[in-house]
Structures are given as structure tokens and as C-alpha cells.
Amino acid sequence: MDRVGGGTPGYLVATLRDLDPGEELARYAAEIEATLIPYGGRFLVRGPAPEVLEGTWPAEAVVIIEFPSAEHVRLWYASPAYQEIRELRTRHSDGMLAVVEGLPT
């Protein structure tokens, strides 16, 4: 599912708050990357909240994952492999996940 010769990348952008670190959230963090590989996903940002220059940042952490297309993001999110671990995150954090399209390459 790699991007071949250009196209429009897709991104999953997530902001997470009310993180309850523990064994299940650590397991989620350890297992998510393997779910991305079949869909060409790779982490661009996986860390604490950014330095805010203007306004109020609504979360403790931000995640940006690049995929070959927005459709790849949707396929990954709906995949059995991701759905199997999704609850490990949702039980221990609150947040927002969004799909955005990048600029054509």
C-alpha cells in the first residue's frame, strides 16, 4: 500500500488528554506501530503537547501519523488489528482523532 509516484498523503492527527498511564496504555503504545505497517503509516509526531505560541492547547499529547492517502487512514482505523487495541487507549485517555489530507506530492 505504499504511495507510488506522488499522490496526496493522509494524516491522522490526534490530541489526547486525561491520560491515565498504566499497563494497558503502555501495551497500546507498544503495539500500535505494527498495526500501521500494512497501511503504510508512520509516526511523524508522537509526544507531549507542543510549545504553544498563541491560544490554548487542549491536550497533554499530540500524535501525527502519515499515510499514503486519507483512505489508508480510514482503512487502518477500521482494521481488525487496530480495533483490537483501540480500547486500550480509549479506556485510559480522552481526545480527538481526525483525518486530514495533505498537499499533493
pLDDT one-digit tens code per residue, 80-89? 999 999 999 9
Residue 50 has a pLDDT of 87
> Do the Cβ atoms of 83 and 31 come closer than 8 Å?
no
* Class of the CATH domain delimited by 10-50+57-101: alpha beta
Give me the helix-helix angle, 80-90 and 70-78, nearest 10°: 80
Helix/strand/coil for 89? helix
Rounded CA separation 105/86 (Å): 30
Confidence of residue 62 (pLDDT cuts 50, 70, 90): very high
What's the mean pLDDT in 8-33? 94
* Percent with pLDDT over 90 in the chain: 79
Mean pLDDT of 70-88: 97
Note if the pTM is more than 0.85: yes
Please report which confidence band the pLDDT of residue 34 belongs to, taking 50, 70 and 90 as the band edges: very high
